[in-house]
Amino acid sequence: MLYIDVYFIINWVMNLLVLLLTGILYRNKPLVKRYSIAAAIGAIWAVLPYVTRLPSWIFSWGGELAIAVCMCKIAYRCQGVKRTIVTALRLYAVTWCIGGALNAIYYQTEAGAYIRYLIYGESFEISVLWLFFTAILVAGGFLGASWWYRHESKKDSLLYPVELCFQEKKVELKGLLDTGNRLYTITGKPVSVMGISILEQLSKEKAEWIKHYLEGTLEEIDVLEGIMLIPFQSVGNSHGMMPVIWIDTMTIKKNTSEEVVSKPALGISKPEIFLDKEYQLILHQSYGQD
């Protein structure tokens, strides 16, 4: 006899694990409540064949795909058909990897026998050592997921909308308040860091010079007016000289207020450090929080 409640719980836990791992690997925002709801929907789908008389074709690959898309929509708040399909494929990829590992455990180790006993309600004896190992494993997984959730939540709370203004041109982007950014000009001005692609929207002339400088193809050593070179460490490279420019204003839109910085200094880095990031500007630590 199949114990539906146990079967549901096992499926819910495994679905939650897959959603969490997919979120970690592809840097989705941590939305544990949404993950839990999506995992429950997947678990309900798993037990439906045993508690209903729905035709079997509903539970074919088409139904599985529809449930996967539904879970992605709920867990990751996917917008658009393309993004939803890509996320669902990522979810399938992680599920396939975990499924292979679980199949090996299920059929090749004693753990599989215990799982079968648990699902079908058969009595079995389990050693204290195995129980202790399982408890440690579950506790470790929970602590790891909790740490990741707090870490991602904290990082998300340090993201601010920022508006840059230079010679009547404006660019809106996301800035990350980085407590590790301690860059200053020789005059003591705090330096925030952005990619060359943002500068191209503000000043093509300065962007062209700095682009050649960053690529090492600059023929003339003379620095353009309004650009300074400062030494730095651990910003895309281990060390070097970073070009710095000044713009008219930088407005940081915080949770309860706006901070307008006049003539802010902005360092320009290679675009690699912003690749696949949610932010395009690294704010100096001195700008602080609310």
Residue 259 β-bridge partners: 252
Contact 243, 210 (CB under 8 A): yes
Question: Which of 164, 186, 161 minimizes the C-alpha distance to 244?
Answer: 186
Average pLDDT, the chain: 77
- The Cα 7–Cα 115 span in angstroms is 10
Comparing 155 with 227, the larger pLDDT belongs to 227
- Selected residue with higher pLDDT from 189 and 2: 189
Distances in Å between the Cα of 100 and the Cα atoms of 21, 68, 135 are 15, 18, 23
Q: Which pLDDT score, from 0 to 100, does residue 208 have?
A: 87
pLDDT at 93 over 60: yes
Position with higher pLDDT, 216 vs 173: 173
Q: What is the pLDDT of residues 20-65, one digit of tens each?
A: 877 776 666 657 788 889 889 988 988 888 888 888 777 777 777 8
Decide if pLDDT at 236 tops 50: no
Backbone dihedral region of 182: left (phi > 0), alpha (psi from -120 to 50 degrees) or beta? alpha
* % of the chain exceeding 70 in pLDDT: 70
Q: Please, where are the H alpha helices in the chain?
A: 4-25, 32-51, 61-76, 81-108, 110-119, 128-157, 196-202, 204-215
Given this model, what pLDDT does residue 28 score? Answer: 63
Tell me what pLDDT residue 251 has.
94
Only one residue has tokens 């601010």, namely 160
| Of residues 53, 56, 52, 43, the one with CA closest to residue 8 | 43
Span 175-197, average pLDDT: 87
User: How is residue 273 annotated by DSSP?
Assistant: G
Average pLDDT over residues 259-287: 87
Q: What are phi and psi of 174, to 5 degrees?
A: -105, 135
Span 95-120, average pLDDT = 60
pLDDT (mean) for 245-262 = 88
What pLDDT sits at residue 270? 80
| 159-287 CATH, one of 3.10.100, 2.40.70, 3.40.1620, 3.30.70 | 2.40.70
CA 251, CA 161: separation in Å to the nearest integer?
8
Q: Worst-scoring range by mean pLDDT, 41-50, 147-156, 266-275?
A: 147-156
The confidence score (pLDDT) of residue 128 equals 47
Count Cα neighbours of 284 within 13 Å in the Cβ-side half-sphere.
Answer: 17
Q: Is it the case that residue 229 has pLDDT exceeding 80?
A: yes
Domain residue ranges in the chain: 4-124, 159-287
Is pLDDT of 235 > 50? no
Query: Residues 71-90: what's their mean pLDDT?
Result: 79
Q: Spell out the residues 6+ positions from residue 114 whose beta carbon is closer than 8 angstroms to its own.
A: 124, 126
Residue 284: which of 154, 156, 175, 210 has the closest Cα? Answer: 175
Phi, psi of 147 (to 5 degrees): -60, -45
Can you tell me the distance from the alpha carbon of 49 to that of 55, in angstroms, rounded to the nearest whole number? Answer: 9
* Threshold 0.85, pTM exceeds: no
Judged by average pLDDT, the poorest of 5-19, 85-99, 120-134 is 120-134
